[in-house]
Amino acid sequence: MKRGSKVFASVATLLCLASAFAPSPASACSACFGKSDGPLAAGMNWGIFSLLAVIVSVLGGIGGFFVYLAKKSAAMAQAAEATKAAGDAADYHESLTRDGALEVHPTETEHELAGAPD
């Protein structure tokens, strides 16, 4: 490193530290300062309400997705029970996929009757 760049880096570092630790009056927002009916406070309130709306909509979407999964699972369980109750359980076999979903497959004889290629 050249001597001039070392001097510049040390001077820049000292200036940054001096400006960071220099005493200055604190600039409080209008809510802390006492003027809670000003335009800055109104803007801050709108910002808070906007963020709340985003959070509520995201959480509502996540909750709705879990309700959808619960209904879908109940419908699949009911369909599986209806299949077993109707006596068609001998014609189908069930298996679980890697993600835990229940799959119902026709037996080989029914598969051949349907004309599916081997």
Same-domain status, 40 and 72: yes
Based on the fold, state whether residues 61 and 93 are members of the same structural domain. no
- Element (H or E) spanning 91, and its range? none
| Per-residue pLDDT tens digits for 98-118 | 666 666 666 555 545 555 555
Residues 69 and 48 both lie in one domain: yes
Q: What pLDDT was estimated at residue 41?
A: 77
> Do 92 and 118 share a structural domain?
yes
Average pLDDT for the chain: 76
Question: Sorting pLDDT into bands at 50, 70 and 90, what band is 56?
Answer: very high
Report pTM: 0.44
**Residue 19 falls within a domain, yes or no?**
no
* 29: in domain: no
Q: Which of 76, 72, 108 is nearest to 90 (CA)?
A: 108
Residue ranges in 1-118 assigned as alpha helix (H): 3-21, 30-33, 39-85, 108-113
Looking at the 3D structure of the chain, how many domains does it have?
A: 2
Of the candidates 112, 91, 95, 113, the one whose C-alpha atom is nearest the C-alpha of residue 104 is 95
Residue 97 structural domain? 87-118
Per-residue pLDDT tens over the stretch 67-80: 999 999 999 988 88
Same structural domain, 91 and 71: no
